[in-house]
């Protein structure tokens, strides 16, 4: 996990409950590392060879039972390290395919599955050469950034040129970060797919897909930017549609070569069925996994860690009822000064919690440039409708004070 993770506490708590020791591999040395040398491993995430050598050397002194990447940043390294030291894991090739949106599209297409038409344009290419040939509307996006970062809809050649330039700047700003340098050299342009989105959370076990949750995403995602907001499960889609979604994810995972561990899939639905946008071989991002609770009060992270270690998993059944999360939309860019109404939001019926994850004084950056969440609202009720209503009511209680500053890319 990197120091930008939202997932540290959930995974460490899960390991604690399972009674398994953890080594945290991260890109920076930990503060009290000297007191617990087996508990920390500093890894140069951007330099795979060095990172692999460090993990292999570490594993000789401290045997490792499983490697689990908590976020996108560590997925490929985890797969390569697992292969290097002989642990069961998705193959590096399959993970690389899943991490690269163009490779995902190609693999789906090769398998005969529905995939949007796409073209990979070099970062230093001239967008004017492509602008006249794109099917509009289209979507311009990086190959590997997550959480809709850098994803922009273009409706005509002029907006395509603007979007391309903006994504180019986002990728330039990302250089030197943990994203694979190769993936920063290209921009993906694909046809825009109309329709609602759903997300599937599950676990692959020897290629078999166990579905933990199918989330509806009731807010329209039509662009020009694609900010996630509400996820509610169970899905209210027709059973036949749900079956098609599950079947499509199963097929798509197989097409990518993923066979083991958690998967988080994002799909669009149109009248002909589901389109897979992404299958990430990891758990759902941010703090959204808090929506999932399994029989006995187990968390998603406990299930994932136990499965990775080959420990018995007493039940893959979720607790009954509906649950959901709102990734709080960012109202504007600037400096966050504070939040009013959190207590009132927490007091809304069926609301479990409201968490503001961006500290006051920090810069709030909306999409497409932004990569940090403002916060999360969680709700739990008998029905998905009650959950959705509670999330919206709680959100209406919140008032964010954000001092405007110039945002990168000129606004949005």
Partner 1 sequence: MTNPSDAILTVSDAARSKVLELLNAEDQKDLALRIEITGRGAGGFRYDLQFVGETETEEGDAVIDGGGFKVLVDARSQPDLKGSRLEWVETALQSGFKLENPNPIWGDPTALAVQDVIDQKINPGVAGHGGYVTLLDVKGETAYVSLGGGCQGCGMASVTLKQGIEVMIKEAVPSIREVVDTTDHAGGTNPFYQPSKGGGGGEESPLV
Positions in the binding site for partner 1 (CB under 8 A): 3-6, 8-9, 12-13, 16, 22, 24, 26, 30-36, 39-40, 337-343, 346, 351-357, 359-361, 375, 401
User: In the bound complex, what is the minimum distance in angstroms from residue 321's beta carbon to partner 1?
Assistant: 17
Joined tokens for residue 313: 């998993």
User: In the bound complex, what is the minimum distance in angstroms from residue 131's beta carbon to partner 1?
Assistant: 40
CB nearer to partner 1: pick between 312 and 359: 359
Burial 339-354 (b: 16+ CB within 10 A, else e): bebbebbbebebbbeb
Q: Per-residue DSSP letters for 119-149?
A: EEEETTS-HHHHHTTSPSSEEEEESS--TTT
Q: Per-residue DSSP letters for 200-250?
A: EEEEEETTEEEEEEEEEE-S---SSB----EEEES--S-HHHHHHHHHHHH
User: In the bound complex, what is the minimum distance in angstroms from residue 59's beta carbon to partner 1?
Assistant: 18
CB nearer to partner 1: pick between 13 and 317: 13
**CA-wise closest residue to 274 among 309, 244, 232, 308:** 244
**CA-wise closest residue to 95 among 250, 212, 259:** 259
CB nearer to partner 1: pick between 164 and 376: 376
CB nearer to partner 1: pick between 184 and 351: 351
User: In the bound complex, what is the minimum distance in angstroms from residue 377's beta carbon to partner 1?
Assistant: 10
By the 8 A CB rule, do 370 and 329 touch?
Answer: no
**CA-wise closest residue to 366 among 172, 170, 111:** 170
User: In the bound complex, what is the minimum distance in angstroms from residue 302's beta carbon to partner 1?
Assistant: 15
User: Does residue 137 have a cis peptide bond before it, meaning omega lies within 30 degrees of 0?
Assistant: yes
By the 8 A CB rule, do 162 and 411 touch?
Answer: no
CB nearer to partner 1: pick between 278 and 393: 393
User: In the bound complex, what is the minimum distance in angstroms from residue 165's beta carbon to partner 1?
Assistant: 31
CB nearer to partner 1: pick between 220 and 360: 360
User: In the bound complex, what is the minimum distance in angstroms from residue 375's beta carbon to partner 1?
Assistant: 7
CB nearer to partner 1: pick between 113 and 344: 344
């Amino acid at each position: 996990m990197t120091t930008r993770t939202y997932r540290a506490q959930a995974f460490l708590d899960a390991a604690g409950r399972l009674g398994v020791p953890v080594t945290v591999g991260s890109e920076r040395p930990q503060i009290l590392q000297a007191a617990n040398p087996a508990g920390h491993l500093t890894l140069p995430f951007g330099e795979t060879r060095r990172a692999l050598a460090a993990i292999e050397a570490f594993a000789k002194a401290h045997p490792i039972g499983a490697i689990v990447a908590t976020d996108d940043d560590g997925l490929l390294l985890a797969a390569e390290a697992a292969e290097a030291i002989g642990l069961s894991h998705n193959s590096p090739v399959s993970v690389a395919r899943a991490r690269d949106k163009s490779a995902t599209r190609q693999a789906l297409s090769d398998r005969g599955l529905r995939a949007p038409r796409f073209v990979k344009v070099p970062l230093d290419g001239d967008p004017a050469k492509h602008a006249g040939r794109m099917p509009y509307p289209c979507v311009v996006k990086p190959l590997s950034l997550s959480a809709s970062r850098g994803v922009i809809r273009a409706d005509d050649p002029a907006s395509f040129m603007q979007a391309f330039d903006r994504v180019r700047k986002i990728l330039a700003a990302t250089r030197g970060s943990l994203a694979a340098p190769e993936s920063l050299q290209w921009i993906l342009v694909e046809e825009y797919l109309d329709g609602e989105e759903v997300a599937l959370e599950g676990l692959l076990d020897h290629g078999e897909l166990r579905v933990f949750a199918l989330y509806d995403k009731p807010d329209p995602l039509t662009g020009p930017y694609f900010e996630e907001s509400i996820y509610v499960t169970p899905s209210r889609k027709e059973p036949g549609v749900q079956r098609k979604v599950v079947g499509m994810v199963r097929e798509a995972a197989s097409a990518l070569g993923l066979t083991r561990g958690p998967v988080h899939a994002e799909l669009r639905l149109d009248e002909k069925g589901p389109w897979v946008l992404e299958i990430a071989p990891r758990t759902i991002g941010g703090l959204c996994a808090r929506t999932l609770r399994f029989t006995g009060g187990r968390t998603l992270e406990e299930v994932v860690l136990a499965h990775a270690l080959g420990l018995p998993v007493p039940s893959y059944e979720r607790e009954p009822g509906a649950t959901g999360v709102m990734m709080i939309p960012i109202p504007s860019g600037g400096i966050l000064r504070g939040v009013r109404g959190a207590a009132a939001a927490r007091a809304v019926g069926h609301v479990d919690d409201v968490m503001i994850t961006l500290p006051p004084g920090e810069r709030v950056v909306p999409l497409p440039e932004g990569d940090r969440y403002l916060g999360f609202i969680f709700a739990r009720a008998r029905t998905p409708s009650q959950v959705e209503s509670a999330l919206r009511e709680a959100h209406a209680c919140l008032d964010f004070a954000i001092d405007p500053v110039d945002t990168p890319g000129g606004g949005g």
